[in-house]
């Protein structure tokens, strides 16, 4: 576990090198993105970085950023983001990713779409030859018509489970919605699955991030690899 944490830190350090003074920076959710937040905080404290503002992708990220002394802003004030640093649950060779393991997929995608550059940082365990081989696809949905949502996803070839939180209660996103963890197995055509989900009323968002990632930074025992699309 210590080795994995070190790899996450190295990936974060490599990504934060692309943050320059005066930038608006999107801050993703998750344990690897938190490493990037810590690196930004350290550079601000050292004086090697200044005059940046962050756009957090979740309430927890906002709290972490405030704790670390990182100035925050909103998309209302800064609708165009210079770059976002975020993690991922699974990445395929085309730089398509599954996100949403932490439940922040809706806000993460909003921030990603507002970003000129989307840098995903992972350790090598997150690489996969095909999406869905390692991770279920999170789908955010409203509670009204829940059974219909579950049956719709089943019709697409997945088994959907409502994500639960502490005590077995349904997990709620920052927007008050539910998460369906949808087990498709290997996804042959992510674009078709994405289009079907986007066309369904009551489904708010899905965790397929397609044509959004510009940079992928992978940390492995062999070193840092930087891929671009």
We report the CATH number of the domain holding residue 27 as: 3.40.50.1360
> How wide is the angle at C-alpha 203 spanned by C-alphas 76 and 186, nearest 5°?
110
Classify residue 134 as exposed, middle or buried by CB count within 10 Å of its CB (0-12, 13-18, 19+).
middle
- Domain holding 35, by residue range, is 2-128+210-228
Residues 102 and 72 occupy one common structural domain: yes
Q: Looking at the structure, do residues 40 and 96 belong to the same domain, yes or no?
A: yes
Edge-to-edge order in the sheet of strand 90-91:
90-91, 97-98, 208-209
- Which pLDDT score is estimated for 2? 80
User: pTM of the prediction?
Assistant: 0.95
CA atoms of 86 and 196, how far apart (whole Å):
25
DSSP string, 49-71: S-S-EEEESSHHHHHHHHHTT--
Whole-number pLDDT of residue 229:
87
Same-domain check for residues 176 and 214? no
Inter-residue contact 86 to 99 (CB < 8 Å): yes
**179/219 same-domain check:** no
**Is 165 within 8 Å of 179 (Cβ atoms)?**
no
The position carrying tokens 């994500």 is 163
- What is the CATH number for 195? 3.30.70.260
Question: What is the number of domains present in the chain?
Answer: 2
**Are both 96 and 188 inside the same structural domain?**
no
Distance CA 163, CA 17 (A): 36
Whole-number Å distance between alpha carbons of 80 and 75? 7
Residues 120 and 187 in one domain: no
d(CA 20, CA 94): 27
CB atoms closer than 10 angstroms to residue 69: 10
Q: Which residues of the chain are under the pLDDT cut of 70? A: 1
Is residue 118 domain-shared with residue 217, that is, in the same domain? yes
DSSP bridge pairs for 206: 139
User: How far from the centroid of its chain's Cα atoms is residue 213's Cα?
Assistant: 10
Q: Are strands 118-123 and 215-220 parallel, antiparallel or unpaired?
A: parallel
- Calpha distance 118→214 (Å, rounded): 5
Which residues does the annotation mark as catalytic? 108
Do 68 and 123 reside in the same domain of the chain?
yes
Structure tokens at 144: 């009204």
Supply the pLDDT for residue 1: 67
Tell whether 80 and 141 lie within a shared domain.
Answer: no
Same domain, 62 and 168: no
Q: Are residues 184 and 222 in the same domain?
A: no
Same domain assignment for residues 197 and 223: no
User: Cα(176)–Cα(198) distance, rounded to whole angstroms?
Assistant: 19
């Amino acid at each position: 576990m210590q080795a994995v944490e070190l790899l996450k830190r190295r990936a974060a350090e490599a990504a934060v090198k692309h943050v320059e003074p005066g930038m608006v920076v999107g801050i993703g959710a998750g344990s690897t993105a938190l490493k990037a937040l810590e690196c930004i905080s350290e550079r601000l404290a050292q004086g090697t970085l200044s005059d940046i503002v962050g756009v957090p992708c979740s309430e927890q990220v906002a709290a972490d950023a405030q704790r670390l002394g990182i100035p925050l802003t909103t998309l209302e004030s800064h609708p165009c983001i210079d770059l976002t640093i975020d993690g991922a649950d699974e990445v395929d060779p085309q730089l398509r990713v599954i996100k949403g393991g932490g439940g922040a997929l809706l806000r993460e995608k909003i921030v990603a779409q507002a970003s000129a550059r989307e840098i995903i940082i992972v350790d090598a365990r997150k690489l996969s030859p095909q999406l869905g081989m390692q991770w279920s696809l999170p789908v955010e949905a409203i509670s009204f018509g829940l059974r219909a949502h579950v049956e719709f996803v089943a019709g697409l070839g997945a088994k959907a489970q409502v994500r639960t939180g502490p005590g077995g209660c349904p997990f709620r996103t920052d927007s008050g919605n539910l998460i369906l963890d949808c087990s498709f197995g290997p996804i042959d055509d992510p674009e078709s699955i994405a289009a079907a989900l986007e066309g369904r009323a009551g489904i708010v968002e899905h965790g397929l991030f397609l044509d959004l990632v510009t940079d992928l930074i992978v940390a492995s025992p062999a070193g840092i690899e930087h891929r671009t699309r």
